[in-house]
């Protein structure tokens, strides 16, 4: 949890800001200090690390039940810290959350296969007969079916052609305005430029 706390401090951005402030203006230093390093603090890297922690808790939950409590506490701490970071501290980024979410689900399913292999090995080693290990190992068949179904039955990255055709026949909502005009671009009589032109 100390790592999550240091992420909250954003110390690398602070060090970059303090360094750049010595050689350029404060506004330029702030611009150069952002965004944070995407290799470690990016959405993809964070989602991979948090998925690894979840898979670790999932794989070892039967052998060491206390790890599930630690994983839940870690999840709660991350929820608290990163909800603040995303909304108030970090710069806005392009939203690739859907891609990362699908990858996380896929990795958790792969972690279930590791769990099946681990429990099969433990049961084969500790049980008096081979039957419990074979029963546990046979669940890999169900895992394979659901994993293939997840990867092929759900259209997660693109829309099927039949749905595109069906959406073309749906009556669309009519626009309320004839044209959208950005309020900042309207020439007002009381603007500094209008006063200057007079």
Query: Can you give the pLDDT at residue 135?
Result: 94
Spell 55-79 as b/e; 16+ CB within 10 A means b. bbbbbbeeeeeebeeebeebeeebe
141 Cβ contact list (under 8 Å, min separation 6)? none
Q: Which of 55, 51, 43 is nearest to 116 (CA)?
A: 55
Q: Where are the alpha helices (DSSP H) in the chain?
A: 2-9, 11-23, 26-33, 38-41, 43-60, 66-84, 97-126, 131-152, 161-169, 192-197
| Distance separating alpha carbons of residues 64 and 71, to the nearest angstrom | 12
Q: In which band, very low, low, confident or very high, does the pLDDT at 133 lie, cut at 50, 70 and 90?
A: very high
Query: Can you give the pLDDT at residue 151?
Result: 86
Structure tokens at 188: 């007002």
Q: In which band, very low, low, confident or very high, does the pLDDT at 97 lie, cut at 50, 70 and 90?
A: low
Structure tokens at 34: 């952002």
Q: In which band, very low, low, confident or very high, does the pLDDT at 144 lie, cut at 50, 70 and 90?
A: very high
Average pLDDT over residues 115-139: 94
Q: Higher-confidence residue: 20 or 120? A: 120
Residue 194 has pLDDT above 60, yes or no: no
Looking at residue 186, the DSSP 8-state letter turns out to be S
Does this model's pTM top 0.75? My answer is no
Where is average pLDDT lowest: 31-40, 143-152, 183-192? 183-192
Average pLDDT, the chain: 80
């Amino acid at each position: 949890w100390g790592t999550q706390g240091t992420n909250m401090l954003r110390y690398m951005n602070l060090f970059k800001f303090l360094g750049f402030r010595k050689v350029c203006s404060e506004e330029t230093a702030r611009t150069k200090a952002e965004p944070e390093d995407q290799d470690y603090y990016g959405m993809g890297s964070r989602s991979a690390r948090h998925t690894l922690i979840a898979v670790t808790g999932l794989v070892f939950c039967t052998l060491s039940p206390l790890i599930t409590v630690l994983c839940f506490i870690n999840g709660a701490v991350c929820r608290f810290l990163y909800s603040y970071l995303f909304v108030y501290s970090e710069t806005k980024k392009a939203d690739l959350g859907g891609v990362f979410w699908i990858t996380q689900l896929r990795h958790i399913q792969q972690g279930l296969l590791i769990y099946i292999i681990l429990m099969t090995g433990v049961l084969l080693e500790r049980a008096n007969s081979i039957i419990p290990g074979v029963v546990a190992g046979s669940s890999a068949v169900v895992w394979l079916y659901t994993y293939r179904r997840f990867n092929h039955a759900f259209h997660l990255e693109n829309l099927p052609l039949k749905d595109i055709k069906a959406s073309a026949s749906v009556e669309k909502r009519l626009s309320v305005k004839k044209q959208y005009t950005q309020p900042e671009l309207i020439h007002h009589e009381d603007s500094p430029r209008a006063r200057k032109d007079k």
